[in-house]
Amino acid sequence: MSTQYHVKLAPGDVAPYVLLPGDPGRVPVVASHWDEAREVSRNREYVTYTGTYRGASISCTSTGIGAPSTAIALEELARVGATTFVRIGTCGSLQEQVRIGDVAIFDSAARYDGASQLYAPIEFPAVADHGVVSAAIQAAHGQGVTHHVGTTFSTDVFYTPQEGVAFGGYQQSWAREVYEDARRQNILAAEMESSVLMVLTRIWGLRGGAMAVVADDVFASVDETGAFDAEATFDVGAAQMERLARVGSETVRLLSERDAAGRTG
């Protein structure tokens, strides 16, 4: 098989276990926690490192922002042999008890994206593999990281058409209470990639899961003037990314060890 069109990877370039941040700049940061790592490809928003972490083969590929570029990354990674996909991202909290710096482990996603609907009807659930969920919980426990397990709101829009959020004061009535309703549905957080990851891995018979460090409170990211300024209000410090990289890598190690022991999760 030749090199994949967008991610520029061939069979043998990636481990079966792949961590998926959105930001290509975070891939070398994640890989710096491994025992050894090398950059295996770089094209557009897709950067891939492969290496080993505490005896487990591991890769990390950035997806870019949003479900469309993430779907391309998943299609091409699966073709070159990846079987287990763990998103490590950032999210905004929808619940008071989910605080900035905590890690949210997603067992499911609300499908407010377009790409996953082109693969599976909207009735189909975006659900994580239970083995990935249980490994992520164990990893977070082991690292002493405050964590929450629940549903994420995966949306194709960052600048939601709400007062003060989208450019020029643009608003749509559907968006006015969309996050309040999500909070009432017990949804933990909002981000932009987990739904398509869970749907695609499930329909292919592969494994997917996701976790994200909480960068902001969705209800507090609008300042007193009513303006939304992510640069000023989002907190994605080095310590938070390090925590995420560590819990993600530990999740892969636990899965790898369980798989080797004959449990397929």
Partner 1 sequence: MSLQYHLKLAHGDVAPYVLLPGDPGRVPLVASLWDESREVASNREYVTFTGTYRGVPISCTSTGIGCPSTAIAMEELARVGATTFVRIGTCGTFQDRVHTGDMAIFDSAARYDGASRLYAPIEFPAVASHEVVAAAIEAGERLGYPFHVGTTRSADTFYAMHPRPGSSFNDYWQSAWREHFDDLKRLNVVAAEMEASVILVLARIWGLRAGGIAVVLDNVLRVSGDSGEFDPQEQFDHGGDEIERLARMGSEIVRIVAERDAASERAPAT
Q: Is 172 helix (H, G, I), strand (E, B) or coil?
A: coil
CA dist., res. 255 & res. 84, Å (int): 9
Output 99 or 141, the one with its CB closest to partner 1.
Answer: 141
CA dist., res. 254 & res. 239, Å (int): 22
> Which range binds partner 1 by CB under 8 A, 14-22, 79-87, 115-123, 222-230?
115-123
For residues 156 and 67, the answer to whether their CB atoms sit within 8 Å is yes
Q: How far is the CB of 83 from partner 1 (least distance, A)?
A: 14
CA dist., res. 32 & res. 3, Å (int): 26
Check residue 205 for interaction with partner 1 (CB under 8 A).
yes
Check residue 210 for interaction with partner 1 (CB under 8 A).
no
Cα angle at 51 between 47 and 53, to 5 degrees? 120
CA dist., res. 163 & res. 118, Å (int): 30
Cα angle at 70 between 68 and 72, to 5 degrees? 75
Q: How far is the CB of 180 from partner 1 (least distance, A)?
A: 13
Interface with partner 1 in residues 93-112 (CB under 8 A): 107-112
The letter for the amino acid at 50 is T
Output 113 or 250, the one with its CB closest to partner 1.
Answer: 113
Interface with partner 1 in residues 140-169 (CB under 8 A): 149-151
Check residue 133 for interaction with partner 1 (CB under 8 A).
yes
Check residue 202 for interaction with partner 1 (CB under 8 A).
yes
The residue ranges that bind partner 1 (CB under 8 A) are 107-112, 120-127, 130, 133-134, 137, 149-151, 181, 184-187, 202-205
